[in-house]
Each structure stands twice: as structure tokens, then as C-alpha cells.
């Protein structure tokens, strides 16, 4: 083969490999640098792009809140489109409401009113010279973008090469009715549409989704859990960036509680982020599984955590000294706690409250908490890794001071 032919072949080869295709995987390791969520965050900061389009089968509040922050900061993006499906009761009311808040974005719901469901996951950033297409299995949800085991392709395209750009042209042609916003099953997201979708039972609230998952999952015995764990060991999961964690404002949080208890009166205490020890699931061999949670200062300022819970919050309970001489410095009492976890009401549980009356201990001198709550019968509900980092809030009941409402969210 002559040199000129060889050079020609090289030029053809270079042209053919200009398009860069990269596999995006997540869920098989604790830190998924190539998760779709991480790639989206990178693309949002690339000022070469002028347009963002997302087509997703499902969306949740966490996923939408995450991209909402980046879209609002990406002032270079001025042609934006979000289309989400509402089949299978996965897309939530809160997600649609959050999409509606995003400025500079055209947003639609797509619903196929038949046995076929809307199921694509496409993310497209377009620039004058370069475009990025992400297509795979990741929905617009916090878990779908970062935690779930997913597989996608990231295609980086040189727009000056017609053959490469044809991939985007094919996507736009096949989903023409979506990209040009003319499909009859597309409806502009509005407050009225959201309300009607909720009323018709097509779109649930996120609290209803959590309750449905709990009801559909049978409570497993310890033996069953141990048996399954031996066959299918738990895998380490990636952390979701703070931008993609659902944030319920206090008013929304209160409304969730009111839906469970009309007698809700007053917020008494908030814990801050719950730890493994709080939830009775310590991993370290040096950590003692106490089966209890200390009532610490948490998010409450200007309180003395050594006395506040015994002498203020639980002062009216029937406290009695422990009869054991070795632990007679402890006062004990029982009270009923209505436990609500992530929007699901798990009913009323009688739990033991302990208070250490000693004032000469190291803990007391260091101003640590002296009052704790024993989880008792509620331990199977509490000892879950998914609750690490959540917040516990304690509410009073204005009609019965012996019933407290404990909410973990």
C-alpha cells in the first residue's frame, strides 16, 4: 500500500472515531464517578452548551430538586425541555410541582392511556460545536442517577461532522412529537394538571408511595433476614449529593403529620442527623448496641440537655426509681409514642424512657445528655441503615400528654 493511501486511511479512521462513546455504570461500587448524575452535573457547568433536554419515564422530588439547582445556575442554557412519564405511580406530585417551579424550562407530562407505558431515559446537551447525549436506564430520581445499578452510554458528538450528528437527528426524528412539542399525549405541566392527575389516582404523593411500599413488603423475621443475608450480602451504596436529597420544608412536614393525627400540637424537639448508634445498628466492633437513643440537644439551641427532657418535656410522666440497688440512680417511666417513618404511620408503641440522676459523673460534668429512649418493641422499625442521616422530630399531642408523636424523615 502506498504512503498516500496509508495517509488517506488514517484520515478516514480519525473521522470515524471522532464520536466518543463511553459506558456509564453505577451501583457496583460505593463511589460511582461515572454515574449519570455526576455526568449531568459536569455537563450543566459546561458553558459551551446552550440547550438541555431531559426525557424520563419517572421523576421524584430528589432527582428534580438536584437538577433544578444546576439549571437555575446555568444561565448559558436557554432552550430547555423536561418531559416525564406518569405511568406505574412512580412520578410523584412533589416532583411535578418542583418541575413547575423551574424557570426557563418548558415542561410536559407524557401519558399513554393504554397498556403501553412511557419508558425512555434520554438526556441531551447541545452546543454549537459539541453535543452530549446520555441514553440508558437512569430515571430522573435520586436513586436512578446515583445509587441504583444502572447502565447508560454517554455519546460525545462533534456537530461539524454530519455522520456523527446523525445520531441526534435520529433521536429527534423518532421522538419528533416530543421534541417539537406536538404529540397529543403531551400536556403542559400546570397546577391544574397536577391536581387532576392526583385526583384521578395516576400521580401519588411521595408519602403515599412510601406507605404503599411498606404495605406491599411483608415484615421479615430475624431468622429470615439472616438467611437472606447469607445468600445475598448487602452491597455498599454510593452517597447521593446533597443537591439530590429531598428537602421537605417544615410546613410540608407538618401537613404530613396532620394527615395522620388531627391532634398534633407542638414541635418539642429535633434530633439532627441520626447515627448508627441512635438507630441501634452499630458497625464497629468497639461500638456497643445499646438499644436506645439519647435525647441530645440536636437542633434545639439554648437548652441544657442534662435536665431539659426529664424536667420539661417528660416532667408529667409517672417517673419511678429503679429498684435495683446498682442502678437506683436511674429513674424510669413508660410513655406511648406514635411512630411515623418517612410518611408511614407505624402505630403507637409503649417505650421506656430512662434518666440518670447522678451529677458527679464524667458525662454530667461534660454536659452530655442524661435521658434516653429505649427502642424496645420498635427496634425492628428503627434499626435500618436507610434511616442513617435522617432527622427525628418529637411532637406533643394536645389531647393526651401521655402520647407523643415521633417522626423520622
Instruction: Tell me the CATH number of domain 248-408, given options 2.40.33, 2.60.40, 1.10.3470, 2.40.330.
Output: 2.40.330
Classify 339 as helix, strand or coil. strand
Contact 100, 112 (CB under 8 A): no
Classify 193 as helix, strand or coil. helix
Mean pLDDT of the chain: 85
Distance CA 395, CA 406 (A): 6
Minimum mean pLDDT among 39-43, 335-339, 370-374: which range?
335-339
Classify 41 as helix, strand or coil. helix
Span 103-117, pLDDT tens digits: 999 999 999 888 899
Q: Where are the domains of the chain?
A: 16-208, 248-408
Burial of 98 per CB tally in 10 Å (0-12, 13-18, 19+): buried
Does the structure show a pLDDT above 90 at 244? no
Distance CA 83, CA 322 (A): 62
**Band of residue 217 on the pLDDT scale cut at 50, 70, 90:** low
Span 154-205, pLDDT tens digits: 999 999 999 999 999 999 999 999 999 999 999 999 999 999 999 999 999 8
Distance CA 392, CA 119 (A): 36
191 sits in which H/E element: helix 191-199
Nearest to 356 by CA among 375, 328, 314: 328
Radius of gyration of the chain (CA): 27
**What class, spelled out in words, does domain 16-208 have in CATH?**
alpha beta
Which DSSP letter does residue 90 get? T
Q: Which three cell numbers stand for residue 288?
A: 456497643
H helical segments located in 266-406? 308, 362-365, 379-382
Global pTM reads 0.62
Nearest to 44 by CA among 136, 120, 124, 100: 124
Residues whose CB is less than 8 angstroms from the CB of residue 185 and which lie 6 or more positions away in sequence, other chains included: 110, 111, 112, 113, 118
Q: What is the pLDDT of residue 283?
A: 60
Residues whose CB is less than 8 angstroms from the CB of residue 202 and which lie 6 or more positions away in sequence, other chains included: 86, 89, 111
Mean pLDDT of 76-87: 97
Distance CA 335, CA 314 (A): 9
**Band of residue 214 on the pLDDT scale cut at 50, 70, 90:** low
Residues whose CB is less than 8 angstroms from the CB of residue 177 and which lie 6 or more positions away in sequence, other chains included: 183, 184, 186
Q: What is the pLDDT of residue 403?
A: 85
Distance CA 63, CA 243 (A): 9
Mean pLDDT of 273-280: 88
Amino acid at each position: 500500500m502506498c504512503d498516500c493511501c496509508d495517509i488517506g486511511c488514517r484520515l478516514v479512521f480519525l473521522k470515524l472515531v471522532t464520536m466518543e462513546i463511553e459506558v456509564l455504570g453505577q451501583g457496583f461500587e460505593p463511589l460511582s464517578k461515572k454515574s449519570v448524575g455526576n455526568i449531568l452535573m459536569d455537563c450543566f457547568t459546561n458553558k459551551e452548551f446552550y440547550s438541555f433536554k431531559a426525557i424520563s419515564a419517572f421523576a421524584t422530588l430528589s432527582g428534580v430538586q438536584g437538577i433544578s439547582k444546576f439549571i437555575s445556575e446555568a444561565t448559558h442554557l436557554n432552550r430547555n425541555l423536561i418531559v416525564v412519564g406518569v405511568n406505574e405511580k412512580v412520578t410523584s406530585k412533589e416532583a411535578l410541582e418542583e418541575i413547575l417551579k423551574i424557570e426557563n424550562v418548558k415542561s410536559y407530562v407524557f401519558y399513554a392511556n393504554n397498556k403501553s407505558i412511557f419508558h425512555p431515559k434520554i438526556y441531551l446537551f447541545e452546543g454549537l460545536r459539541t453535543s452530549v447525549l446520555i441514553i440508558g436506564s437512569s430515571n430522573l430520581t435520586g436513586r436512578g442517577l446515583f445509587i441504583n445499578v444502572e447502565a447508560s452510554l454517554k455519546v460525545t458528538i462533534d456537530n461539524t461532522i454530519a455522520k456523527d450528528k446523525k445520531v441526534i437527528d435520529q433521536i429527534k426524528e423518532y421522538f419528533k412529537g416530543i421534541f417539537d412539542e406536538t404529540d397529543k399525549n403531551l400536556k403542559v405541566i400546570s397546577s391544574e394538571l397536577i391536581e387532576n392527575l392526583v385526583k384521578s389516582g395516576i400521580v401519588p404523593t411521595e408519602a403515599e408511595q412510601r406507605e404503599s411500599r411498606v404495605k406491599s413488603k411483608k415484615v421479615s423475621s430475624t431468622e429470615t433476614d439472616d438467611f437472606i443475608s447469607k445468600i445475598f450480602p448487602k452491597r455498599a451504596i454510593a452517597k447521593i449529593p446533597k443537591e439530590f436529597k429531598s428537602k421537605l420544608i417544615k410546613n410540608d412536614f407538618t401537613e404530613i403529620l396532620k394527615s395522620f393525627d388531627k391532634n398534633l400540637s407542638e414541635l418539642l424537639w429535633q434530633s439532627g442527623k441520626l447515627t448508627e448508634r441512635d438507630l441501634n445498628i452499630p458497625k464497629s466492633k468497639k461500638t456497643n448496641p445499646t438499644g436506645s437513643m439519647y435525647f441530645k440537644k440536636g437542633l434545639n439551641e439554648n437548652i441544657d440537655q442534662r435536665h431539659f427532657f426529664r424536667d420539661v418535656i417528660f416532667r408529667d410522666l409517672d417517673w419511678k426509681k429503679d429498684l435495683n440497688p446498682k442502678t437506683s440512680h436511674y429513674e424510669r417511666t413508660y410513655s406511648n409514642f406514635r411512630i411515623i417513618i418517612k410518611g408511614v404511620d407505624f402505630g403507637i408503641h409503649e417505650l421506656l424512657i430512662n434518666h440518670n440522676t447522678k451529677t458527679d459523673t464524667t458525662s454530667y460534668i461534660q454536659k452530655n445528655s442524661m435521658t434516653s429512649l429505649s427502642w424496645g418493641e420498635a427496634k425492628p422499625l428503627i434499626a435500618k441503615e436507610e434511616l442513617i442521616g435522617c432527622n427525628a422530630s418529637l411532637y406533643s399531642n394536645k389531647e393526651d400528654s401521655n402520647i407523643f408523636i415521633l417522626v423520622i424523615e
